[in-house]
């Protein structure tokens, strides 16, 4: 098939790479406009997809507005059979309905669970035991289209969003090629999503990442790993903000320390919760470097 690919972050690069190495033809890549960032805002920031597309000499379009007439004309002139979307932005119907085979999306959850911008984060935060990839055909409402293919994978009890992200990224690339092959062969059997099972997975902001000590130790551990490595769970103690990116459930009780208090025991950094203790394996005091929990305890005397 002749394909126009749309995506922006690293997660999308694996899928684009898989398409390039398949028998399908990638005609062009649509990605986010460049921006300025880095120290002093003077560094040109190009998306991961753009950097990869440049290395493969693929035509690249970076529209500010997806309804722009000039962009729509260029898109139509590619005469693609199919559009593929991986971690891009919401498309207007004038775009997703353009090619004869429509537009398909690679989504990092088992739809209809975790529709939205942060499906991997929310699956772990909610303590799910499994996640997966869904390849589906776009329609009006976001992440609601008919399913082409779905593959499940277990989530480890200490697995972070970053770790699951890497696994799903490669799984999604493989499943994308399989799905396009099915479309091309005419053997695909579309499956409707069950609306009553839908769960929303909205974008997560910094203020959403503060640890709530009214939650159980398991929920706090899931929250920490669900926000690792970014945007990172945080808490305040004695006026200092601490970013916590790795933890594990600890066997000890909270040893009479107040809930939300750090303390050390047998060279481990522990955090008291209402129903027990978690061990902090990776921590970063605001304005300082990230360090292991053990290194952090070297500067502690008694409880912090």
Dump pLDDT digits (tens) for 26-79.
999 999 999 987 777 778 899 999 999 999 999 999 999 999 999 999 999 999
CA dihedral 182, 184, 187, 191 (to 10 degrees): 60
Prior bond to 67 cis, omega within 30?
no
Residue 17 tokens, joined: 């790479």
299 pLDDT band (50/70/90 cuts)? confident
The pLDDT assigned to 39 comes to 72
The pLDDT assigned to 255 comes to 65
Please indicate whether residue 9 or residue 252 has the higher confidence score (pLDDT).
Answer: 9
Dump pLDDT digits (tens) for 66-103.
999 999 999 999 999 999 999 999 999 999 999 999 99
What are the two backbone dihedrals, phi and then psi, of residue 150, each rounded to the nearest 5 degrees?
A: -140, 135
Query: Would you say residue 6 has pLDDT above 60?
Result: yes
Query: Would you say residue 153 has pLDDT above 90?
Result: yes
Alpha carbon 116 to its chain centroid, in Å, reads 10
304 pLDDT band (50/70/90 cuts)? very low
What one-character DSSP code corresponds to residue 234? E
Q: How far apart are CA 279 and CA 248, in angstroms?
A: 5
Q: How far apart are CA 271 and CA 258, in angstroms?
A: 9
Residue 277 · residue 303 · CB < 8 Å: no
The beta-strand segments (E) located in the chain are 2-7, 25-30, 35-37, 43-45, 60-61, 82-86, 103-107, 130-137, 147-154, 233-237, 240-250, 262-265, 268-273, 276-285, 291-292
Q: How far apart are CA 24 and CA 146, in angstroms?
A: 22
């Amino acid at each position: 098939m002749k394909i126009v690919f749309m995506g922006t972050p690293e997660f999308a690069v694996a899928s684009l790479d898989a398409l390039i190495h398949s028998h399908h033809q990638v005609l062009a890549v649509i990605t986010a406009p460049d921006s300025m960032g880095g120290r002093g805002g003077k560094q040109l920031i190009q998306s991961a997809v753009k950097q990869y597309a440049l290395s493969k000499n693929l035509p690249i379009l970076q529209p500010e507005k997806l309804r722009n007439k000039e962009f729509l004309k260029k898109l139509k002139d590619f005469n693609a059979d199919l559009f593929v979307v991986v971690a891009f932005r919401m498309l207007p119907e004038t775009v997703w309905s353009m090619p004869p085979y429509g537009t398909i999306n690679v989504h990092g959850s088992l739809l209809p669970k975790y529709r939205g911008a942060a499906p991997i984060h929310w699956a772990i935060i909610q303590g799910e035991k499994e996640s997966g990839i869904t390849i589906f055909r776009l329609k009006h409402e976001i992440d609601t289209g008919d399913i082409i293919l779905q593959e499940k994978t277990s989530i480890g009890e200490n697995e972070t969003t970053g770790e699951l992200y890497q696994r799903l990224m490669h799984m999604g690339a493989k499943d994308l090629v399989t799905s396009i092959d099915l479309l091309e062969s005419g053997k695909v059997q579309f499956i409707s999503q069950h609306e009553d099972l839908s769960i929303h997975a909205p974008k997560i902001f910094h203020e959403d990442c503060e640890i709530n000590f009214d939650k159980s130790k398991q929920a706090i551990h899931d929250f920490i790993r669900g926000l690792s490595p970014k945007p990172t769970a945080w808490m305040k103690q004695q006026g200092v903000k601490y970013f916590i990116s790795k933890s594990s459930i600890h066997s000890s009780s909270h040893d009479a320390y107040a809930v939300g208090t750090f303390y050390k025991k047998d060279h481990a950094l522990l955090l008291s919760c209402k129903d027990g203790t978690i061990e902090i394996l990776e921590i970063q005091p605001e304005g300082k470097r990230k360090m292991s929990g053990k290194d952090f305890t070297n500067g502690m005397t008694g409880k912090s």
